[in-house]
Amino acid sequence: LPIRAGSYTDELVKTAKTVASPGRGILAIDESNATCGKRLASIGLDNTETNRQAYRQLLLTTPGLGEYISGAILFEETLYQSTTDGKKFVDCLRDQNIVPGIKVDKGLVPLPGSNNESWCQGLDGLASRSAEYYKQGARFAKWRTVVSIPCGPSALAVKEAAWGLARYAAISQDNGLVPIVEPEILLDGDHPIERTLEVAEKVWSEVFFYLAENNVVFEGILLKPSMVTPGAEHKEKASPETVAKYTLTMLKRRVPPAVPGIMFLSGGQSEMEATLNLNAMNQSPNPWHVSFSYARALQNSVLKTWQGHPENIVAGQKALLERAKANSSAQLGKYSG
Ligand code: 13P
């Protein structure tokens, strides 16, 4: 059936389907230079361009990665970098049938008039930046904004998050990039899982209201939600089955089946928790491709293994492949430990 006729519509639908292909998910390595610096500091390395390039080269040149990974989200610096042998990172990805993606938001700043909440910058100049990223080989984009449960969330913060995501999504599609829509509901707080469900339902209903108002093609977007869990400081932890039940309930109530892929963030869960929760979500049929777009839950072991030493590169790549393979199995609902 016809959907909105735009110059990139067919390509957007195709890109989204490729990223949401069975047994694959997204490797998120789009840490800003400041965040990447924190990761490097955890293994005693300085935050230099050389060290960031070396680390990203280890990740992006992992042999066999494309079997489990369908897309990689890059920070702007990485999109324009090459291997030390001079091969563009974008080409390393393409050779493995991995779609290059780009983080396009400009980060969070305080939202005046709210309850100490944040909003996400980056709409000014986004159309021209997106066109440049497309030329450089990017085919999808990411915009991460956050919602805090302990801070409210206020109606103002939720509306601002949803509106910003919808404007970004429309601009991305207009420039050939599939937008990943990510309103991260932070884990912080001691609230029970029911409260997370309530907030997630509110956030996603507003996001879809404004996506529709901005004529965004739902077949050409991907979502990056937080899983519905109790707050990190809540007295009880939820089992993977409970997380799956609440998260799928939320999705079924709020997300149209026209959306091809749901690519969860890990949000501070351990590598194993993130895999087990995803596996639990894929035990029953659902209308989407339910998969992963993990940063920390794919990289923690890699960093620890690598330690910045060239002789550990192969072992680091092995650690990445192990997590990627586990999450690939979890995407198919077949992870068994
Ligand atoms: P985490 O999986 O570490 O929460 O990262 C989320 C993210 O938005 C990275 O692109």
Of 182, 206, 245, 271, catalytic: 182
Q: CB within 6 Å of ligand 1 — which residues?
A: 28, 30, 73, 142, 144, 182, 265-267, 294-297
Is 135 tagged catalytic?
no
What value of ipTM does the predicted structure carry?
0.90
**What is the whole-number distance in angstroms between the Cα of residue 2 and the centre of ligand 1?**
34
Task: Read off the pTM.
Answer: 0.97
Is 182 catalytic? The answer is yes
What is the distance between the alpha carbons of residues 89 and 283, in angstroms, rounded to a whole number? 35
- Residue indicated by tokens 């990627």: 324
Phi and psi dihedrals of 289, rounded to 5?
-95, 110
| CA of 73, closest atom in ligand 1 | 10
**Catalytic position from the list 206, 224, 245, 271:** 224
Cβ count within 10 A of residue 23 = 17
Bridge partners of 294, per DSSP, are 27
User: How far does residue 4's CA lie from ligand 1's centre (Å)?
Assistant: 31
- Do the bridges between strand 99-103 and strand 108-110 make them parallel or antiparallel, or are there none, so unpaired? unpaired
Distance, first Cα to last Cα, the chain: 42
Q: Which of 37, 19, 13, 6 is nearest to 218 (CA)?
A: 13
Contacts of residue 282, defined as CB under 8 A and 6 or more positions apart, other chains included, come to 290, 330, 331, 332, 333
The rounded distance, in Å, linking the Cα atoms of 330 and 323 is: 10
From first to last of its 337 residues, the chain has per-residue pLDDT tens of: 767 768 899 999 999 999 999 999 999 999 999 999 999 999 999 999 999 999 999 999 999 999 999 999 999 999 999 999 999 999 999 999 999 999 999 999 999 999 999 999 999 999 999 999 999 999 999 999 999 999 999 999 999 999 999 999 999 999 999 999 999 999 999 999 999 999 999 999 999 999 999 999 999 999 999 999 999 999 999 999 999 999 999 999 999 999 999 999 999 999 999 999 999 999 999 999 999 999 999 999 999 999 999 999 999 999 999 999 999 999 999 999 8
Burial letters 208-239, b for 16+ CB under 10 A, else e: bebbeebebbbbbbbbbbbbbbbbeebeeebe
CA of 295 from ligand 1 middle (Å) equals 4
